[in-house]
Amino acid sequence: MEGITIISTGAGLPSRVMTNEDMAKLVDTSDEWIFTRTGIHERRFCAEGEDNLSLAIAAAEQALSRSGIDKNELGCVICGTVTAKYASPSTACLIQKALELPEDIPVLDINAACAGFIYGLEVARGLLCAGERKYGLVIGVEELTKVLDMEDRSTCVLFGDGAGAAVIRVEQDAPYESYLGAKGGLEIFIEGVGAERSTVHMDGKAVFRFAVSAIPKVINSIFEKSGKTMEDVDHCICHQANARIIDHVVKKYGAPEEKFYKNMERFGNTSAASVPTAMNEMWEKGMIKSGETLMLVGFGGGLTMAGAMLKFNGKEA
């Protein structure tokens, strides 16, 4: 089996910080109300001159520059997003143009919501296994602020903007296992092309119930297929939707809290960008070492769920 390893990461984060106090000026809420329910204190909003595409290009460029490879070695560009600047062309195509990447490779967007980056890893793996080049660029990016209903305090306080990216390499017999799945439903939805105005709608209680069952389902499936256990995982990076969801999973596995990284306190829920930006932040802080095993887990609209257990083989930060 050909698996994949991560060799570099990058991020593109907006410059505008929106605290809970800032949100309270726009909608009936408070820092106490938001933080006790979500674990979020602040998030990033795109400022003037920043958008989904600029964030994606910044993250992709950083990951590629850190990888040490020539851009002509790339075999695909995959971008997970639900808030692309254009319905067509794809964000991946525009990243390809901006970074002058090879023209003879597949480049495409995928919509798997908050599981989009991990879906992207598996799509990239399949394409690389079928081709001659061994490196792929995978991006998760969202500009969720442009689809927020600022009168809906139950949703507008949750989300932020951001982009994360990784360069991966496909390798024969690389330790790798994945799980991709979905449970179709409209618990979270955003109106599509043609709508007078597209905004996020979410049944919070239903999504919470789904999340606390989906994460163990994904992790257990990967453990069953790989023969591994939580002791074999150095870091578990889950979608950063809600601190209470991750705390529930930590308790279920009886795992050390430090094994499950959390950064939603400073960035909120950035959907497809959340897992790669968290991974990038860990690498920049020196928390992830080359050769360590990562468990990546995403869940979100669709309802989608995805996981990947793989090695991080990047350079030291």
Query: Hey, which residues are catalytic here?
Result: 114, 239, 269
- Residue 33: both structure tokens together: 């109300």
Q: Are 21 and 53 in contact (CB under 8 A)?
A: no
Phi, psi at 63, each rounded to 5°: -60, -40
Nearest CA-CA partner of 7 in 295, 291, 296, 273: 291
How many helices and strands (H and E) does the chain possess? Answer: 10, 13
In the chain, what is the greatest distance between 2 CA atoms, to the nearest angstrom?
A: 55
- Residue 14's region, left for phi above 0, alpha for psi from -120 to 50, else beta, is beta
Cα dihedral across residues 81, 54, 16, 243: positive or negative: positive
Q: Using CA atoms of 143, 147, 148, 154 in order, give the dihedral in degrees to the nearest 10.
A: -100
Residue type, 31: D
Residue type, 125: R
- Residue 303: both structure tokens together: 């309802």
